[in-house]
Copies of this chain bind each other. A is one copy, B any other.
Amino acid sequence: MAAPILTPQAEDFPRWYQDVIAKAELAENGPVRGTQVIRPTAWAIWERLQRELDDRIKAAGVDNVNFPLFIPQEFLSREAEHVEGFSPELAVVTIGGGKELEEPVVVRPTSETIINHYFSKWIQSYRDLPLLLNQWVNVVRWELRPRLFLRSTEFQWQEGHTCHASEADAHAFAIEILHNVYEETVRDVLAIPVLLGRKTERERFAGATFTWTLEGMMGDGKALQMGTSHELGQNFGRAFDTTYSTSEGTTDYVWQTSWGVSTRLIGGLIMSHGDDRGLRLPPAVAPTQCVVIVVKDGDGVGDAASALVEELKAGDVRVKLDGRSDIAFGRRSTDHELRGVPVRVEVGPRDLADGNVTVVRRDTGEKTSVPAAGAAKAVADALAAAQTALLDGARARLADGTTEVDSIEAAIEAAQTGFAVMPGALADDAGETALNNKSVSIRCLRRVDGSLPDAKDQVSDLVAVVARSY
C-alpha cells in the first residue's frame, strides 16, 4: 500500500483541502491573484451539477439569457447599499482598444444593475410579470485571501433575476428556488444536508430586503454558505425605474428576487465528504462512478473486465477500465480512492478462477466478493447505497455537531468545533458584534422547530445558528 500522501484532516484541515485539490488534479491557482484553473475532473463535476440545477431552474419556468460582462460604473452607484457592498471588490477596465476609456467599465461582480436596465425597457404591464431569467456566467470580485473554489477573484455561477407584481409573489418565488432548486440538488445530488434560514441584516446581500441561505457543515465543523436567494423588494426597481402598470391601472415598481450558486459548491463537496484517503464523490455527481481494475494479467482477466465494463455502460453507469497492469495494483487503487471514484471492481486471476470479482465501496471501504456474472447488479446496488450512506453520514455529523446554547460565550465555545443554536433574543446588534469579534458569525435565523421563518418573523422569536465559516 502506498504511503499516505495527504495531510491528515485532524492535523490541518485547510492543508488537507489544498492537498486533495492538488493531488486529485481538481484545480490550480491562476497567474493573476485569486483566479483559478478548473481541471477536467472538477469541471466534469460542475457540468453535471449545472445540468441538475439547470433542469430544475427551467422546471420553475425560468428562461436562460446572457447579459454583458461589462457594466458602466455609473450603474453600480444607483443603489446605495449595493455600491457600498461591492465597490471594494471591483475590477475596473480603464483601457479598451488601445485607448483610455472615457467612462471606466466594471467587470460584473453580479448583474442586478445591468439586468434592471433592461427590465425597465421590457416590462410595461402586469401582463409581462412574472419575468423569470437566469444566466450561467463568470463574475469577478477582487479577493485578497483567495482559496480555491471557496473564494476566488473570478468564479462561475448561475444568477437568477426575477420580477413580480407583488411582494408575496417575489417571496414565494425566492423560497421556491431555495427549496426546489438549491436544497433538492444539494441534498439529492451532492448528498449534503443543509440548514435553511434567513440572514441577519448584517449578513444579507447588499441591496436585498431579505436573504435566504443554505448552510452546510463541513468536515471540520465550519459552515459553508452553499447558496442564497434574495428578496430585493423594490430597491432596484426604484434605482432603475423598473415600473409596471398594475391590473388596477396604477403604476408601481416591480418586486424582485435574485439567487445564485457557484463553483463554491465543489469546495463544499470536497469538504463534506472527503477523508484522509482523498475525495469521496457521491455517485450522482461523480464523472466516473465505477472503475473496473485488472488486478494483474491472467487467464481471462482482461476479457472479464472488458465484458463487465460493456455491461455497466449498457446500464448507463459511467465506468472506466483500468487495465494498466504494468503499474502496481496498490498504487492504482490508492489513486482511484484519492480521486473519489465511488465503486471499484477488482478483477484478478485468483478470484476469477473461482468465478468471483471484488466490489469495493469508496465511502465505507467495504469489500464484497461477488460472482462475476452478478457484478453489474452489485455495482448498481453499491452506487445506490453509497449515495444514501454519504447523505446519512453528513446528516449524522450535522446533528452530532450542533449544540443548543443559551449564551454568546457558549455559542463561541461550541462554534470552535461545530454549530451552535442560540435564542434569537441574543442575536441583537451587540450579540452579533461579540460573535464577530471572535471570528464567529450568525449563519442564519430559523424557527425553533427548524422550519423556515416567515419574512415577517421577529428575530427574537427565532433561533440563530452560529458557526465559524468559510
Contact = CB atoms under 8 A, between A and B. Distances in A.
Given A92-B93, A138-B137, A30 B98 contact: no
Interface in A53-102: 63-72, 75, 87-98
Interface in A90-140: 90-98, 104-105, 107, 114, 117-118, 133, 137-138, 140
A97 B90 contact: yes
A35 interface: yes
A47 to B, nearest CB: 7
Interface centre among A65, A96, A117 (most CB of B within 10 A): A96
Contact of A72 (B31, B43, B93): B31
Given A64-B47, A97-B89, A69 B140 contact: yes
A212 interface: no
Given A40-B63, A138-B138, A32 B94 contact: no
Contacts of A32: 68, 70-72, 105
Given A93-B92, A97-B144, A144-B97, A68 B137 contact: no
Nearest to A36: B68
Interface centre among A31, A39, A91, A133 (most CB of B within 10 A): A31
Interface of A: 28, 30-32, 35-40, 43-44, 46-47, 63-72, 75, 87-98, 104-105, 107, 114, 117-118, 133, 137-138, 140, 142-144, 153-154, 156
Given A31-B72, A40-B64, A91-B95, 19 more contacts: A30-B68, A35-B70, A36-B68, A37-B68, A38-B65, A43-B65, A43-B66, A47-B64, A70-B154, A87-B98, A89-B97, A90-B95, A90-B97, A91-B93, A92-B95, A93-B94, A94-B94, A94-B95, A97-B143
24 contacts: A30-B67, A30-B68, A31-B114, A35-B69, A37-B68, A37-B118, A39-B65, A40-B65, A40-B133, A43-B64, A43-B65, A68-B154, A69-B154, A70-B91, A70-B140, A70-B153, A88-B97, A90-B96, A93-B107, A94-B94, A95-B104, A97-B142, A97-B144, A137-B138
